Each structure stands twice: as structure tokens, then as C-alpha cells.
Chains A and B, each alone.
Chain A
Amino acid sequence: GQNIDQPTEMTATEGAIVQINCTYQTSGFNGLFWYQQHAGEAPTFLSYNVLDGLEEKGRFSSFLSRSKGYSYLLLKELQMKDSASYLCAVMDSNYQLIWGAGTKLIIKP
């Protein structure tokens, strides 16, 4: 079966750095996505990785290792507004998105 694993919840301090991991086992691979979802709101797109390596976008970076079935989302200079759930999703060989359950990130002052 297809599976996406990510931690249920993480806590970090304002101004610090946090890394959210995602491991996956899917039927084929056509890219990995990270979305941010604030409580009670819709998910919004953060990043897309299809090749191995690090993609940097401002305070957020996303890394992919296809051979290890592994990705992480790195958030730097954390702000209170970064408190949200972060969803990892993989596009399989049929171009369908398989979603993880999400990681709830709590930022403390």
C-alpha cells in the first residue's frame, strides 16, 4: 500500500529553526509537495520537489532524497504566524496525490 509518514505534532520557539520530516512509500513518484494549513482554513501550496536536493524559498526550504523516500521542510526564523499544520503529499505514478496526516506545528514565544 501507499503510505506517507510525518510526525503528528511538533513544538518550537519563536525565532528558532524547525525541521519537519516526511517519509513515503508510494507506487511511483512524480513529485513531493508541502502545503501549509492554518486551523480552520484551506491548505496553501508551499513547495514542490521532484529532483533530489534542497529548494529554498525565503524562510522555508524543502529537501528531497528519492532513494531514501524522504523529505523535510525547514522553517527558519520562526514567527508566531507559522503555527499551522504542514501537509506532505506525494504524486504517484497515476498523478494522484497521496497525503500525509499533517504535522501540527506549535510556536511558543
Chain B
Amino acid sequence: IAGITQAPTSQILAAGRRMTLRCTQDMRHNAMYWYRQDLGLGLRLIHYSNTAGTTGKGEVPDGYSVSRANTDDFPLTLASAVPSQTSVYFCASSDSSGRATGELFFGEGSRLTVL
């Protein structure tokens, strides 16, 4: 089934540990995004990539890094996890950098708990 796949779906992590959330899409979309979703807050953009080989910082980039070695994959790394990074993380993609209809396609989310 075409779409976006995220892994893991859920993870409990000790503070200070390094963690990589994986995201793969098979729609050949140019643009990819990482959001976090916290109760009572809107989706907040962490990092984005308009095309393979380029990345940019979103609204809340601190403590996170990304890479975009190819079109399909966009991993998000927490170098040293802290409890405030407990959240649900969504990877998303769009064509034309979202400048067409702006429709984003989301993965199913990764629920991360940092203790």
C-alpha cells in the first residue's frame, strides 16, 4: 500500500539516550516534514526538506536533527533525549513543496515517551 511508513510506532526511552525515528515514503514526493503533536497544541514543525539533499529548520528544531540522503527516507534523530521530547511524532510528505493544494500525507505517528 502506497504511503508513508514510520517506525517505531511506540517507544519508551531513557533520558540521555539517542533515538532515531524512521520515515519512508513511496509516493516520490519532493517535500517531507517532521511534526510533533502535544495535547492542547497544534502540530509544530520540527524540520523539513523541500527536496533530497536539503533540509531546513521548523518552529521547534532544538534537540533534533534530520537528513535527506534520498527522496524516500527522512529520519529524525534525537541526539540526547529529554522528557520534554515526550510527544507523538508525525512524518508527512507533499508534492511541489506544498505549494500546490498544500495537501500533506501523514504517517501513522510514532509515540515517544522519554523517562
Contacts and interface: CB of A to CB of B under 8 A. Distances in A.
A99 B104 contact: no
Nearest to B6: A42
A97 B104 contact: yes
B13 interface: no
B42 A100 contact: yes
A42 B90 contact: yes
Contacts of A87: 42-43
B84 interface: no
B36 to A, nearest CB: 11
Contact of B42 (A45, A96, A98): A98
A31 B94 CA distance: 15
Contacts of B41: 101
B102 A31 contact: yes
A35 B58 CA distance: 20
Interface residues of A, number: 23
A97 B108 contact: no
Interface range, B side: 20 to 34
A91 interface: yes
Contacts of B98: 91, 95, 97
A95 B43 contact: no
A43 B106 contact: yes
Interface in A76-109: 87, 89, 91, 95-102
A96 B104 CA distance: 12
Contacts of B109: 41-42
A95 to B, nearest CB: 5
Given A42-B109, A96-B45, A97-B104, 4 more contacts: A42-B107, A43-B90, A87-B43, A100-B42
16 contacts: A4-B42, A31-B101, A31-B102, A33-B103, A41-B108, A42-B107, A42-B109, A43-B43, A43-B90, A43-B104, A45-B105, A87-B42, A87-B43, A96-B45, A97-B45, A101-B42
Interface of A: 4, 8, 30-31, 33, 35, 41-45, 48, 87, 89, 91, 95-102
